[in-house]
Structure 1
Amino acid sequence: MSFYRPFAPLFGAIFCCLLGVGATLGALPLYLRDRHAGDVEIGVVVTAIAVSAVIARPIAGRLADRHGYKPIMIIGVLLCALAGIGYLPADGVVPLTAVRVLHGIGEGTVYTAGATWLVALAPQERRGRFVGLYGICMWLGITLGALVGALVLDAVNFAAVGWFAAVAALGGLALVLVKRGPEHPAGPPRTGLVAGSAVLPGVALSLAAFGYAALAAFVALHLARRDIGHGIAAFNAFGVTYVGVRLFVGNLPDRLGASRVALWSALTEAVGLVLVGAAPNLPVAIAGGLVMGAGLSLLFPALALVVLNRTDPSRHGVALGAFTSFWDIGLAVGGPLAGWIAGLAGYPTIFYVMAGCALGSAALSLAGRRGRAVPAET
């Protein structure tokens, strides 16, 4: 643990900011429903944060490359705190959507600047593990925040949720301020918002994200159609292995090679999706969720490591920002796509099609392995 102590402020800062994001995520649907908002309006408000984060990540990465990671991360944390306060007077779909956009810009900025800062500090032989641990802090922040948000809304009111999000972000600000900024890597000035090294791994990530979106949205409905109760347990099982694998074997991309681990991770996800789609009972569905979690757990850090290894250090921010946006795009596309497939061919077909998408992700990683001799982008 003493080895990781110098990095704790960055892990803590992203946890605090995502704690606020999760709190609003857990409270907003219930709050809007009580105010008689429709399903479409609720969907717009809730997902606005993801749309703005997609746009903010590469921009934040470019700014971090040019001006330093610490000042850009501070700006992101302050935007998250400002968004928390912005929830207080917001009343109605349009004002809340505007606040969600601001929150997404803050979250995307914090993640991208913090991840790039972390990579700059981490030993090169442990970069994949550090990216994975950073993602776990995000996951825990959102998960615990959603629980806290629902409890605070029920016990107090929605304004208290906004205050909680603001205070949590300020806690992240305190952690960032006490951490000394790294030396800024020198490099040639570049103006693009998307690094070419991020495109192929990013598309592979999007294809894999389709499966996660399908599992989250439709596994309970799929199993209920087969008269199998407690279907959400399959999704919970996914979370168990997603976190567990990163904690205990998160160094595999560093040890075995990023492209190799990305290939096998995508294939593992495909197997899990087939198990869920064909599940005749709850134990098989849970097994599918466990297998999926094991696959997706290492896919993101492995592909991120591929991007980092092929990008000049002076462009790591814009590369990671663009790469991470592909995950958000995969979620945004995967959910509606799964719903469209369900309407045409039924729930099981969703998971078989998404297994095919995971195989496509594996094929891209295989192509990346064959082209690994390509020099790093400069």
Structure 2
Amino acid sequence: MVKKTHVVWKLIPFSAVAFLGFLAVGLPLPVLSLYVHERLGFGTLIVGSVIGLQSLATLLTRQYAGRLSDTRGPKLTSLVGLLFASVAGLSYLAAGVLVQHPVESLALLCVGRLLLGLAESLFITALAAWSIGRVGSEHAGRAMAWSGIAMYAALAVGAPVGLVLYRAAGFSAVAACAVLAPLVGAATASTWKAFAVERMAARTSFLRMLRMIWAPGLGMALASSGVGTISAFLPLRYSMAAWPHAGFTLAAFGAAYIAMRLVLGGLPDRLGGYRTGLASLFAETIGLGLIALAGTPLTALAGATITGLGYSLVFPSLGVEAMRRVPGENRGLVIGAYLACFDLGLAIAGPGAGAVARSYGIPGAFAAAMATALSALILICVDSRCLRKSVPIGNQI
């Protein structure tokens, strides 16, 4: 068996490329809400919709990305995805040039968000499959964990850097970095040896798979929807309250997420998925509530940090429960279905929070986010009790 330290060293290059690719997401993310609202003059519903477009595109292309990786190989798929991410940055650049024409600029931003959603689906899916091919299927969980670390590291680093660039040199500077980062990742990955990925032996309906995992899947969708409000509206929360250092608060969220994954990432396996998930969702609910009620930037910082600590283990915790509900030969498909639930939550977070913010203000959007996290907590609590009173679902299939 490959030692843990050797596995980690093999995974780090894949995480580094995923980090570079996801910088195309993390750098512009806190800037987009400010640019659309303050420079282009659109309302919070439009802001949320622009943010949510990327996750919607990722959701709709998740199956396509997996099929392309299986048939054409993860190397080609990841390179195509990284190049699409760079093209999305070019679309942002064009939008920045047309800042005096708000409708045209907004349209180019929407094109960029859709391209970035496709790009993320391609390179994240392919790099995960590629890394699993490198370390072996027995280390698939650790490979997926490191993929998540790379994504949130890019958010933690990209958010403050993006805001600094925006304040110092404008939106075009942020867009230029979003063009370059995935190109560096593509150049790096192009030098690696390709690894074949085993195709899924058994075929099962995607809808049937969703029915099997509906409880943890819906819980994940609700949890990610709540956290998606941070990405879409935390910079506006700070801007409207005239608070400084919104980027630092986003970085604190990302850093807390990463630290929890690194230090306590094995808790779902040791304590059980639902037990860990309940504690994690409780922390997420408290954190989002603090942001909604915050009267000072320090309180909002504390709320974002607590949210990051809680949300970090929601994905692996509920994922463990989803995996237990299906036969082993369908694990590849259940991962895709579970990721689709994650994407769905992020896709509805932007426009949903934007609609609430239009009627009740930005703090109201975070109160709604707290309510979605609380709903996930209640759902998982009820389903956990039902499982204890019945035959394990995996034995019924």
TM-score when scaled to structure 1?
0.77
Q: Once structures 1 and 2 are overlaid, which stretch shifts more, 337-346 or 268-277?
A: 337-346
Distance 2:394 2:315 in 1: 21
> Offset at 1:203?
0.6
Distance 2:126 2:147 in 1: 12
1:201 aligns to what? 216
Note if contact 2:215-2:379 (Cα within 8 Å) is conserved in structure 1.
Answer: no
Distance 2:172 2:303 in 1: 40
1:4 aligns to what? 8
Q: Once structures 1 and 2 are overlaid, which stretch shifts more, 63-72 or 92-101?
A: 63-72
For the residue of structure 2 that corresponds to 1:195, the secondary structure is: helix
1:321 aligns to what? 336
2:202 aligns to what? 188
2:394 aligns to what? 374
Q: Once the two structures are aligned, what percentage of the paired residues are identical?
A: 30
Distance 2:217 2:81 in 1: 23
Given residue 24 of structure 1, which amino acid in structure 2 is its aligned partner?
A: P
Distance 1:229 1:148 in 2: 17
For the residue of structure 1 that corresponds to 2:118, the secondary structure is: helix
Is 2:76 aligned against 1:71? yes
Is 2:60 aligned against 1:55? yes
Is 2:265 aligned against 1:250? yes
Note if contact 2:290-2:300 (Cα within 8 Å) is conserved in structure 1.
Answer: yes
Given residue 195 of structure 1, which amino acid in structure 2 is its aligned partner?
A: M
2:149 aligns to what? 136
Distance 2:159 2:360 in 1: 33
> Offset at 1:21?
1.9
**Counterpart selection for 2:284 from 269, 277, 282:** 269
> Offset at 1:189?
4.4
Q: Once structures 1 and 2 are overlaid, which stretch shifts more, 263-272 or 362-371?
A: 362-371
Distance 1:280 1:34 in 2: 23
Segments of 5+ residues of structure 2 without an aligned counterpart are 99-103
Superposed CA deviations along residues 36-69 of structure 1, whole A, max 9, x for unmatched, are: 4423555444432222112112331243345543
1:140-289 matches, within 5 Å, as 140-153=153-166, 158-177=171-190, 178-189=192-203, 192=206, 195-196=209-210, 197-213=212-228, 238-272=253-287, 289=304
2:101 aligns to what? none
Compared with structure 1, are the counterparts of its residues 367 and 119 closer, same or farther at alpha carbon in structure 2 (3 Å cutoff)?
Answer: farther
Compared with structure 1, are the counterparts of its residues 321 and 253 closer, same or farther at alpha carbon in structure 2 (3 Å cutoff)?
Answer: same
Distance 1:242 1:152 in 2: 24
TM-score when scaled to structure 2?
0.74
Given residue 12 of structure 2, which amino acid in structure 1 is its aligned partner?
A: A
> Offset at 1:162?
3.8
Given residue 126 of structure 2, which amino acid in structure 1 is its aligned partner?
A: A
> Offset at 1:104?
1.1
Distance 2:284 2:170 in 1: 40
**How many pairs were matched up?**
376
Distance 2:353 2:123 in 1: 30
> Offset at 1:375?
5.4
RMSD over aligned CA atoms reads: 4.2
2:21 aligns to what? 17
Distance 2:25 2:123 in 1: 12
For the residue of structure 2 that corresponds to 1:19, the secondary structure is: helix
Segments of 5+ residues of structure 1 without an aligned counterpart are none
Compared with structure 1, are the counterparts of its residues 135 and 328 closer, same or farther at alpha carbon in structure 2 (3 Å cutoff)?
Answer: same
